[in-house]
Amino acid sequence: MRHLLEIDDLTAEELGRILAIATSVETPRIFAGKGAALIFEKPSARTRNSMEMAVVQLGGHPVYIQGHEVGFDSRETVEDVTRTMSCFHSIVAARVFAHSVVERMAALNLVPIVNMLSDDAHPLQALADLLTLRREFGELGGRTVAYVGDANNVARSLAIGAGLSGMNFRIASPAGYGFSDRDADRIATAGVRIEVLERPEEAVAGADAVYADTWTSMGQEAEAEQRRRAFEGFQVDERLMALASADAIFLHCLPAHRNEEVTEAVLDGPRSRVWSQATNRMHAARGAMAWLMQERG
């Protein structure tokens, strides 16, 4: 039984296989007559729509479930929710706060578990990012992606995925907002080397892709003003983009806070690929779920 809780659950070869399925013109109807449970403790427009449509494209029936409907460890234990879902569905995906929830689900080994986002990781976003980069540049080996901002779950998954794809990964974050020791160890254990820099200009210089994310993620709203002050000087604007490679693109996992972490001129500009990146969430999810089901046999 295989699960996808973080990008380093995959080998470089398996990652390539998922991206190949995602770009194939032939979509395996591997979910024909089957259901997929999509549990959302955290709401998301892109994740819900991309996952539901990916399941439909694979021939299955997606069932959207809000967090309060299952009540992890309040109405029922995480394990009992998982056992219940496995009675009806061939795969269970969850978008949660605590990463331990998806780990507990996967530990039962009843059906493949997909992490649609946790506070630690966002593997489906990383797959979509890599798919976007591959469609833009072809071979990714030797390319450089520069991440400007909070070293959060998106950054961690992207760093691992970039390393597995042979890319260089640079990150610039304000003091106190870099990778934790635990995250740095996880990235290093995956065999990925990253370049940690203090200034966005250093990270972006000559990069093939510049990546930003919101400075205040869901659940951090009380820190919003503090974070705006801390991230002053880390906005991706046209001046910063001019330091990147001549054919560099801009990426953002969305939703974006316009004129905060990125200016409208960059977000809506000719270098931006954020909407094709959003579209690739569906293709990447389809590739990941098809691969998991094929591995299950």
For the annotated catalytic residues, the residue numbers are 95, 122, 125, 213, 253, 281
How far apart are alpha carbons 108 and 1 in whole angstroms? Answer: 10
Residues 6+ positions from 188 with CB-CB distance below 8 Å: none
Q: Are 1 and 291 a contacting pair, CB within 8 Å?
A: no
Q: How far is the CA of 139 from the CAs of 105, 129, 218, 230, 254, in angstroms? A: 35, 14, 34, 36, 25
E strands, 108-228, in order: 113-117, 144-148, 168-172, 194-197, 209-212
* Pairing, β 168-172 against β 144-148: parallel
Strand ranges across the sheet with 91-95:
61-66, 35-40, 91-95, 113-117
Is there a cis peptide before residue 255, judged by omega within 30 degrees of 0? yes
Gap between the terminal Cα atoms of the chain: 9
Residues pairing with 236 in the sheet: 262
Residues 6+ positions from 116 with CB-CB distance below 8 Å: 38, 40, 44, 47, 51, 93, 94, 95, 124
